[in-house]
């Protein structure tokens, strides 16, 4: 370490860290010296060496990816989600400075809270002329339907985030306020988890303030706003769904905090209360942590075209029967025009100016201010006061003369809809860029939550830095890089257990308690798709093995058994017409292309790639229910799937390789589900899905191969292949040697209840499972699901081997055929019955045709 | 004048509706020159939940939800209302000129002016624009008294525009109405409001009814088979003054007010979100009976 220190002294940081002159840097002071609170960390990082730091960065990226930390980018054709990017060099903030920032943020949150309460209450600010009516009433976030609706406690603004940056005057400035449904806290937590894993000793020795307390405060803050009569409030996280840009975070927070993750159609309004449609029926919901934009929350009173909301929600809030954090209408505070009036409002409410400065802002709705903005447009940032697509800030200094003139016209036309804002230069932070440290502009998002006794600030937050030098615009959509933020304590802080991922108890809680019906539906399909993928792989492998397995292709028996398997591939995957086409002779002779397509063509329904895509997507929709280990397996599957896109000229050897890897991942997935999931309703549906699928797959295989009697040689070959397909070859040989005989085969694969791959095993499990499903216990008779499962299971138990193997005059094994057909019917009916009884496939709501005044 | 209004709205669905959430603005609001003796809603099927509140604009709202599966949904509102005719003859050529009113709206901060100012802003159905301003201009020469200008605007709309229930729907933009000079009372009210807002004035949309049976010897008025709509303009010394461009008249005692807002969207008589229902058919009837004075 001394050597590095002396190197720093000899060479000076300017040798390895080029700070642009005139800009404030977080690490270096004006004389090019390292600021005291950075000394320790930067020395340690330099001792580690840049190559090693890069390696750690890669490791962190891997961790984040494996945990499924993603950010969805709208309109990204390459795919839905993009891995979250983390720079391993944290932003350091000294305790002394943080103290000031913290109290400044608390003060600002209190002020915004007062403003929010006033806007939807007495509107004294408007009457006193402290807030122009036009500014407030023209804003789309001012929801008139929510007028006079208030949470019962002291705070209306429950969660709050502010984007901070250091201005040229070395003070921390507030760039913007996030009051609607601030995102990022979950990402900050994931970043922290990754950092403590890849730089454990540096983290430990730096005495960094911990984040866990903040999330405890969030929990108690949400409990505190619940309607007064409720003792143990039920809190849910309301998400727009897996396509939302921050869905990962919604799932992560829900699972971390132990709340059900729900979408609008998981909820329903009844008798003036809000209910969760769970498997156990309707369960009261008292508090919503909202991640759906407020105007989308109720198609009755807000946006009529919204598919993400709950009709009647506003009325429930109006009656005080549900508390929503943040309340509907809170986005009104995100109006940048408000900044121009904050000083006056602060003076009015607090009797003093705000401690944290905000960029000077001029609202063009006033004549003098308009003139100023028009005259100085080339130096200002133009921001629309309202929100909406395509309404993003415009930097005056980047505009051409013509563009400036156009903007002046636009502003003159509707001046009340624009502000001009002073453009601040932010400070730079050291960032790891291609093997060295380089300064990048950065913005820190900090998070607050209201508790009864005031606002609690997360010590740290989410720092995002611009990807390019001199770039000032920092946003996730534009591709920024995130950093952990370390607030350094002067002495070591007592470590608090930071629960970094859902504990088994939390998973159990979310699985047994109120499992939303939609989540059960998804789990059922995860079970089905996982099993479908597995059986597709097994059959494809057998077929390919057979195709390349024997040099003596001329043998008729061999060819017939191969063709039989190929037809089974089409039948099982449902990729018709395929090998079942009437004129499939050529295809059967040269099956490679068709097999490749069945394996890899993602656009073909039923193909392996398509099934895997469905599996990953369905699994993602219930992301909150998976442990991180289980999710890692899902990520592996996704990787493999992406890997296939890189094949230049795919061939069946590659496919075989791929399938070997996939089968391991799928086995790991089912193992996780078996060993790590508590046997709650969630698991039941997952396993019902799996058993049903395994049963129907097996039936499909048997029905295409066995009823038709063939020559003994062909049947021997087929039985061998089917045993191989079902992973039962070894087991069979142990019992029956190499003697491939139909009755022994049927015994093992159809009737043996101890063989986890047999049909009897599936029906026995299904019978057990459906009897455990939640149902009205007062009804004395068996449910439809129970009756179907019972019949299937009994049919197999009562089947006699002699009848099954008997061949009718027509050359078919009629009894076997009939039994298989009946079983198939029963399993399909069972699947439909479970779907009808437990999954709500309601039609989407529609608005009534309006009455017109004529 | 004393009226009984029966307003019946009926939806017939091709498929059953299992759940329905609704908001009705059918109960007349409380105002100075209109006394509501009795009012109530009859809803079929019987709602599972019903509650009234006052909305942002002071209108009476009935929220209700239906849980009984149904294929027919009927809401009937019955109200007995006494309309006190607005005293005295208006002298249109007196009073403040429209430009001073525009200025006043933006300078005075007393509660009444502030309350009025919100109706000078754009709203979802009615935004001020250059075309509307151009149409309005003829009625608004410099220095003209506000009432005279608005009256003239009303007359011009009545003359220039054809009443045509088949031309527009709720979704027809104001620019189309202006370009083709056709529409119904709702369109004419919106048009007038847009013209006034484009002059910087405050105007609101009034939803209500008009007497069905004309006094002997007089013609039946347009807009009597359904709910009616007109507009109101803010006049500092008088308060809100109503104008009915569809019938080219200043309401005296034949107009019954249910509510008002920035535009139709704020006083939609019956809103709903339903689950199921398939296609639906809508029937509306309004009966305004004069019970004497």
B64 plus B106 within the same structural domain? no
CB pair distance less than 8 Å for A145 and B114: no
State which of A677, A693, A708 marks the end of a domain.
A677
B223 touches chain A (CB under 8 A): yes
Q: Are A688 and A832 in contact (CB under 8 A)?
A: no
Q: Which residues in A lie closer than 8 A to residue B49 (C-beta atoms)?
A: 270-272
Query: What is the Cα–Cα distance from B9 to A263, expressed in whole angstroms?
Result: 33
Residue at B216 is within a domain: yes
A458 plus A555 within the same structural domain? no
Structure tokens at B254: 């034949």
What pLDDT sits at residue B223? 58
Cα of A314 to nearest chain B Cα, Å: 11
Q: The dihedral of CA A242, A243, A246, A248: what is its sign?
A: positive
CB pair distance less than 8 Å for A270 and B67: yes
Q: The dihedral of CA B21, B26, B29, B35: what is its sign?
A: negative
A667 plus A685 within the same structural domain? no
Residue at B263 is within a domain: no
Query: What is the Cα–Cα distance from A487 to A41, expressed in whole angstroms?
Result: 12
Q: Are A731 and A757 in contact (CB under 8 A)?
A: no
Structure tokens at A440: 């990048």
Which of B9, B114, B276 is nearest residue A851 as measured by Cβ atoms? B9
Query: What is the Cα–Cα distance from B285 to B283, expressed in whole angstroms?
Result: 7
Cα of B93 to nearest chain A Cα, Å: 31
What pLDDT sits at residue A659? 94
Q: Which residues in A lie closer than 8 A to residue B186 (C-beta atoms)?
A: 852-854
Structure tokens at B276: 């199921």
B113 plus B17 within the same structural domain? no
Number of domains in chain A: 4
Concatenated DSSP letters for A679-734? SSHHHHHHHHHHHHHHHHHHHHHHHHHSSB---HHHHHHHHHHHHHHTT-HHHHHH
A494 plus A584 within the same structural domain? no
Residue at A444 is within a domain: no
Q: Which residues in B lie closer than 8 A to residue A268 (C-beta atoms)?
A: 19
Q: Which residues in B lie closer than 8 A to residue A850 (C-beta atoms)?
A: 170, 268, 270-271
Q: Are B9 and B270 in contact (CB under 8 A)?
A: yes
State which of A480, A503, A526 marks the end of a domain.
A503
CB pair distance less than 8 Å for B185 and A134: no
Which of A268, A845, A853 is nearest residue B229 as measured by Cβ atoms? A853
Q: What share of chain A is helix, strand, coil (3-state, %, to 5)?
A: 50, 15, 35
B68 plus B134 within the same structural domain? no
A368 plus A479 within the same structural domain? no
CATH number for the domain spanning B284: value is 2.60.40.2250
B240 plus B273 within the same structural domain? no
Low-confidence ranges of chain A (pLDDT < 70): 1-14, 71-82, 388-391, 470-479, 491-513, 550-554, 841
B134 plus B178 within the same structural domain? yes
Q: Are A573 and A607 in contact (CB under 8 A)?
A: yes
Which of A126, A319, A851 is nearest residue B227 as measured by Cβ atoms? A851
Q: Where are the alpha helices (DSSP H) in A469-555?
A: 504-512, 517-549
Cα of B110 to nearest chain A Cα, Å: 8
Residue at A215 is within a domain: yes
Residue at B27 is within a domain: yes
A380 plus A498 within the same structural domain? no
CB pair distance less than 8 Å for B48 and A137: no
Query: What is the Cα–Cα distance from B88 to A280, expressed in whole angstroms?
Result: 67
CB pair distance less than 8 Å for A300 and B21: yes
The maximal CA–CA distance of chain B, rounded, in angstroms, is 61
Q: Which residues in B lie closer than 8 A to residue A127 (C-beta atoms)?
A: 109, 111, 114
What pLDDT sits at residue A500? 46
Residue at B31 is within a domain: yes
Q: Over the Cα atoms of chain A, what is R_g?
A: 32
Best A145, A316, A852 member to test B by mutation, with max B CBs in 10 Å, is A852
In A81-150 the beta strands, taken as DSSP E runs, fall at 81-83, 86-94
B111 plus B240 within the same structural domain? yes
Residue at B139 is within a domain: yes
Structure tokens at B291: 């019970």
Sheet holding A418-422, edge to edge: A361-363, A418-422, A380-384, A394-395
Q: Are A340 and A415 in contact (CB under 8 A)?
A: no
Residue at B91 is within a domain: no
What count of residues does chain A have? 854
Which of B9, B21, B270 is nearest residue A312 as measured by Cβ atoms? B21
A494 plus A526 within the same structural domain? no
B287 plus B207 within the same structural domain? no
Q: Residues B277-292: pLDDT tens digits?
A: 999 999 999 999 888 8
Phi first, then psi: give them for residue A457, nearest 5 degrees: -100, 135
Q: B45 preceded by cis ω (within 30°)?
A: yes
CATH number for the domain spanning A382: value is 3.30.1490.270
Q: A452-484 b/e with 16+ CB inside 10 Å = b?
A: eeebbbbbbbbbbbbbeeeeeebebeeebbbbb
Q: Which of residues 99-138 of B touch A (CB under 8 A)?
A: 109, 111, 114, 117-118, 121-122
Which of B174 and A66 is assigned the larger pLDDT? B174
Cα of A349 to nearest chain B Cα, Å: 20
The gap between the terminal CA atoms of chain A, to the nearest Å, is 85
B160 plus B51 within the same structural domain? no
A762 plus A709 within the same structural domain? yes
CB pair distance less than 8 Å for B49 and A270: yes
Structure tokens at A257: 């905090």
Among residues B191, B193, B186, which one has the least CA distance to residue B222?
Answer: B186
A688 plus A721 within the same structural domain? yes
Q: Which residues in A lie closer than 8 A to residue B288 (C-beta atoms)?
A: none
Query: What is the Cα–Cα distance from A614 to A631, expressed in whole angstroms?
Result: 15
Concatenated DSSP letters for A363-394? ETTSHHHHHHHHHTGGGEEEEESS--TT---E
Q: Burial level of A184, CB count in 10 A (0-12/13-18/19+)?
A: buried
What is this structure's pTM? 0.88
Q: Burial level of A94, CB count in 10 A (0-12/13-18/19+)?
A: middle
Q: Which residues in A lie closer than 8 A to residue B190 (C-beta atoms)?
A: none
Query: What is the Cα–Cα distance from A215 to A622, expressed in whole angstroms?
Result: 22
Q: Residues B95-122: pLDDT tens digits?
A: 899 999 999 999 998 999 999 999 999 9
Cα of B238 to nearest chain A Cα, Å: 21
Which of A271, A847, A852 is nearest residue B272 as measured by Cβ atoms? A847
Q: Where are the alpha helices (DSSP H) in chain B?
A: 98-107, 111-117, 130-137, 146-160, 174-180, 185-198
Which of A127, A138, A269 is nearest residue B21 as measured by Cβ atoms? A269
Query: What is the Cα–Cα distance from A290 to A268, expressed in whole angstroms?
Result: 15
Phi first, then psi: give them for residue B219, nearest 5 degrees: -75, 150
A332 plus A364 within the same structural domain? no
Which of B53, B170, B271 is nearest residue A318 as measured by Cβ atoms? B53
Place of tokens 């130096």: A379
Q: Are B134 and B199 in contact (CB under 8 A)?
A: no
CB pair distance less than 8 Å for A137 and B121: yes
Q: Are A310 and A142 in contact (CB under 8 A)?
A: no
Q: Are A185 and A470 in contact (CB under 8 A)?
A: no
Q: Which of residues 190-209 of B touch A (CB under 8 A)?
A: 207
CB pair distance less than 8 Å for B56 and A270: no
Residue at A398 is within a domain: yes
Query: What is the Cα–Cα distance from A802 to A31, expressed in whole angstroms?
Result: 95
Residue at A342 is within a domain: no
What pLDDT sits at residue A499? 46
At residue A45, the 3 state secondary structure works out as helix
CA distances from A157 to A131, A185, A322, B148 (A): 19, 16, 15, 48
Q: Using alpha carbons only, what angle is made at residue A71 by residues A70 and A73, rounded to the nearest 5 degrees?
A: 135
CB pair distance less than 8 Å for A315 and B63: yes
Q: Are B257 and B86 in contact (CB under 8 A)?
A: no
What pLDDT sits at residue A11? 52
Q: Beta-carbon neighbour count of residue A23 at 10 Å?
A: 14
Among residues A840, A293, A321, A271, which one has the least CA distance to residue B21?
Answer: A271
Q: Are B226 and B286 in contact (CB under 8 A)?
A: yes
Q: Residues B33-74: pLDDT tens digits?
A: 899 889 999 999 999 999 999 999 999 999 999 999 999 999
Q: Which residues in A lie closer than 8 A to residue B274 (C-beta atoms)?
A: 845-848
Residue at B166 is within a domain: yes
Q: Which residues in B lie closer than 8 A to residue A319 (C-beta atoms)?
A: 51
A417 plus A457 within the same structural domain? no
Cα of B87 to nearest chain A Cα, Å: 28
Which of A577 and B90 is assigned the larger pLDDT? A577
Q: Are A299 and A305 in contact (CB under 8 A)?
A: yes
- In the A/B pair of chains, how many CB contacts fall below 8 A? 117
CB pair distance less than 8 Å for B121 and A134: yes
Q: Taking CA atoms, what residue in A is nearest to B227?
A: A853
Q: Which of residues 13-72 of B touch A (CB under 8 A)?
A: 18-23, 48-49, 51, 53, 55-57, 63, 65, 67
Residue B34, domain extent: 2-84+269-292
Q: Which residues in A lie closer than 8 A to residue B22 (C-beta atoms)?
A: 300, 848
State which of A634, A661, A677 marks the end of a domain.
A677
CB proximity list for A288: less than 8 A, separation 6 or greater: A235, A236, A237, A238, A274, A322, A323, A324, A325
CB pair distance less than 8 Å for A854 and B117: no
Element (H, E) at A663: helix A652-676
A132 touches chain B (CB under 8 A): no
Q: Which residues in A lie closer than 8 A to residue B284 (C-beta atoms)?
A: 851
B6 plus B53 within the same structural domain? yes
What pLDDT sits at residue A169? 84
B109 plus B243 within the same structural domain? yes
Q: Taking CA atoms, what residue in B is nearest to A842?
A: B275
Structure tokens at A775: 């149902």
The mean pLDDT of B184-204, rounded to a whole number, is 97
Number of domains in chain B: 2
Best B273, B276, B280, B285 member to test A by mutation, with max A CBs in 10 Å, is B273
Q: How far is C-alpha A683 from the chain's CA centre?
A: 20
Residue A299, domain extent: 87-336+449-503
Q: Taking CA atoms, what residue in B is nearest to A365?
A: B106
Cα of B18 to nearest chain A Cα, Å: 10
B205 plus B136 within the same structural domain? yes
Q: Are B113 and B69 in contact (CB under 8 A)?
A: no
A176 plus A225 within the same structural domain? yes
Residue at B260 is within a domain: no
A649 plus A724 within the same structural domain? no
Q: Are B67 and B16 in contact (CB under 8 A)?
A: no
A138 touches chain B (CB under 8 A): yes
B107 plus B246 within the same structural domain? yes
What pLDDT sits at residue A784? 92
Strand B2-24 to strand B280-292: parallel, antiparallel, or no bridges (unpaired)? Answer: antiparallel
CATH number for the domain spanning B177: value is 3.10.620.30
Q: Are A761 and A825 in contact (CB under 8 A)?
A: no
Cα of A108 to nearest chain B Cα, Å: 28
Q: Are A723 and A732 in contact (CB under 8 A)?
A: yes
What pLDDT sits at residue A76? 45
The mean pLDDT of B196-209, rounded to a whole number, is 97
What pLDDT sits at residue A78? 44
Cα of A388 to nearest chain B Cα, Å: 14
Best B11, B21, B46 member to test A by mutation, with max A CBs in 10 Å, is B21
């Amino acid at each position: 370490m001394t050597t590095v220190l002396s190197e720093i002294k000899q060479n000076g940081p300017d040798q390895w860290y080029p700070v642009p002159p005139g800009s404030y840097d977080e690490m270096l002071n004006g004389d090019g010296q390292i600021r005291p609170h950075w000394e320790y960390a930067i020395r340690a990082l330099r001792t580690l060496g840049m190559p090693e730091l890069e390696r750690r960065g890669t490791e962190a990226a891997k961790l984040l990816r494996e945990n499924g930390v993603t950010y969805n980018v709208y309109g990204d054709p390459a795919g839905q989600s993009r891995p979250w990017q983390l720079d391993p060099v944290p932003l350091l903030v000294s305790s002394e400075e943080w103290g000031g920032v913290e109290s400044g943020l608390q003060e600002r949150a209190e002020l915004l809270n007062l403003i929010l309460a006033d806007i939807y209450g007495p509107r004294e600010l408007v009457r006193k002329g402290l807030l122009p009516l036009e500014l407030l009433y023209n804003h789309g976030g001012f929801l008139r339907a929510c007028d006079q609706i208030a949470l019962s406690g002291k705070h209306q603004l429950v969660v709050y985030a502010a984007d901070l940056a250091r201005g040229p005057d070395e003070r921390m400035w507030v760039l913007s306020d996030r009051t609607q449904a601030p995102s990022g806290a979950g990402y900050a937590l994931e970043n922290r988890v990754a950092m403590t894993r890849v730089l454990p000793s540096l983290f430990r020795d730096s005495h960094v303030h911990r984040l866990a307390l903040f999330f405890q405060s969030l929990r108690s803050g949400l409990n505190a706003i619940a309607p007064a009569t409720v003792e143990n409030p039920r809190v849910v996280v309301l998400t727009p769904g897996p396509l939302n840009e921050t869905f990962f975070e919604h799932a992560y927070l829900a699972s971390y905090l132990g709340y059900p993750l729900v979408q609008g159609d998981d909820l329903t309004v009844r008798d003036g209360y809000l209910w969760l449609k769970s498997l156990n029926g309707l369960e009261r919901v008292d508090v919503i942590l909202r991640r759906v934009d407020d105007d989308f929350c109720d198609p009755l009173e807000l946006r009529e075209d919204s598919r993400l909301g709950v009709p009647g929600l506003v009325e429930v809030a109006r009656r005080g029967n549900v508390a929503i954090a943040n309340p509907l209408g809170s986005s009104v505070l995100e109006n940048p025009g408000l900044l121009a009036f904050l000083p006056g409002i602060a003076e009015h409410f607090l009797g003093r100016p705000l401690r944290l400065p905000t960029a000077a802002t001029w609202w063009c709705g006033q004549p003098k201010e308009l003139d100023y903005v028009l005259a100085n447009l080339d130096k200002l940032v133009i921001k629309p006061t309202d929100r909406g697509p395509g309404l993003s800030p415009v930097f005056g200094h980047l505009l051409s003369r013509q563009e400036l003139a156009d903007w002046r016209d636009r502003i003159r036309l509707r001046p009340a809809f624009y502000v001009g804002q002073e453009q601040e230069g932010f400070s730079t932070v050291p960032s790891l860029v291609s093997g060295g440290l380089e300064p990048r502009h950065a913005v820190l998002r900090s998070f607050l939550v209201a508790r009864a006794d005031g606002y609690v600030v997360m010590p740290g937050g989410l720092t995002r830095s611009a990807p390019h030098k001199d770039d000032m615009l920092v946003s996730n959509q534009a591709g920024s890089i995130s950093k952990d933020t370390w607030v350094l304590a002067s002495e070591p802080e007592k470590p608090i257990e930071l629960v970094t991922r859902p504990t088994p108890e939390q998973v159990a809680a979310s699985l047994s308690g109120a499992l939303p019906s939609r989540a059960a539906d998804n789990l059922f399909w995860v079970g089905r798709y996982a099993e479908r993928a597995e059986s597709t792989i097994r059959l494809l492998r057998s077929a390919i093995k057979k195709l390349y397995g024997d040099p003596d292709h001329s043998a008729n028996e061999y060819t017939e058994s191969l063709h039989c398997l190929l037809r089974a591939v089409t039948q099982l995957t449902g990729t018709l017409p395929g090998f079942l086409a009437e004129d499939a002779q050529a295809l059967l002779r040269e099956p490679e292309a068709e097999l490749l397509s069945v394996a890899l063509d993602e656009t073909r329904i039923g193909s392996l790639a398509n099934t895997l895509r469905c599996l990953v997507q369905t699994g993602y929709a219930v992301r909150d229910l998976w442990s991180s280990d289980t999710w890692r397996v899902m990520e592996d599957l996704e990787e493999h799937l992406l890997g296939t896109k890189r094949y230049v000229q795919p061939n069946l050897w590659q496919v075989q390789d791929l399938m070997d890897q996939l089968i391991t991942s799928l086995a790991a997935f089912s193992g996780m589900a078996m060993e790590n999931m508590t046997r709650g309703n969630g698991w039941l549906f997952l396993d019902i899905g799996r058993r049903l699928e395994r049963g129907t797959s097996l039936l499909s295989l048997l029905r295409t191969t066995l009823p038709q009697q063939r020559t003994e040689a062909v049947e021997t070959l087929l039985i061998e292949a089917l045993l191989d397909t079902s992973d039962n070859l070894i087991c069979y040989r142990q019992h029956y040697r190499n003697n491939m005989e139909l009755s022994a085969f049927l015994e093992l694969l159809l009737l043996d209840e101890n063989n986890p791959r047999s049909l009897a095993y599936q029906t026995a499990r299904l019978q057990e499972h459906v009897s455990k499903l939640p149902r009205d216990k007062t009804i004395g008779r068996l449910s439809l699901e129970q009756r179907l499962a019972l019949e299937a299971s009994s049919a197999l138990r009562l089947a006699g081997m002699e009848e099954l193997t008997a061949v009718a005059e027509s050359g078919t094994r009629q009894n076997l055929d009939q039994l298989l057909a009946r079983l198939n019917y029963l399993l399909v009916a069972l699947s439909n019955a479970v779907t009808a009884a437990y999954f709500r496939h309601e039609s989407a709501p529609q608005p009534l045709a309006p009455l017109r005044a004529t | 004048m004393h009226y009984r209004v029966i307003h019946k709205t009926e939806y017939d669905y091709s498929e059953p509706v299992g759940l329905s959430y609704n908001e009705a603005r059918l109960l007349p609001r409380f105002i100075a020159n209109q006394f509501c003796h009795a009012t109530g809603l009859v809803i079929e099927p019987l709602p599972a939940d019903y509650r009234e509140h006052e909305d942002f604009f002071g209108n009476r709202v009935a929220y209700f939800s239906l849980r009984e599966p149904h294929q027919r949904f009927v809401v009937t509102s019955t109200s007995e209302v006494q309309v006190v005719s607005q005293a005295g003859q208006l002298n249109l050529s007196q009073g403040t000129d429209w430009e001073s009113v525009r200025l006043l709206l933006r300078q005075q901060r007393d509660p009444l002016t502030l309350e009025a100012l919100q109706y000078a802003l754009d709203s979802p159905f009615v935004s001020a624009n250059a075309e509307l301003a151009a149409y309005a201009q003829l009625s608004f020469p410099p220095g003209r008294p506000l009432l005279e200008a608005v009256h003239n605007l009303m007359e011009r709309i009545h003359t220039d525009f054809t009443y045509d229930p088949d031309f527009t729907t709720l979704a027809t933009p104001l620019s189309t109405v202006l370009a083709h000079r056709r529409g119904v009372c709702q369109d004419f009210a919106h048009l007038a409001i847009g013209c006034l807002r484009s002059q910087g004035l405050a105007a609101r949309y009034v939803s209500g009814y008009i007497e069905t049976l004309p006094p002997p010897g007089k013609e039946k008025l347009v807009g009597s088979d359904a709910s009616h709509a007109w507009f109101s303009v803010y006049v500092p010394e008088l308060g809100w003054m109503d104008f009915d461009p569809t019938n080219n008249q200043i309401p005296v005692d034949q107009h019954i007010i249910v509510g008002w807002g920035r535009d139709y969207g704020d006083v939609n008589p019956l809103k709903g979100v339903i689950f199921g229902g398939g296609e639906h058919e809508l029937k509306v009837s309004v009966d305004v009976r004069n019970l004497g004075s």
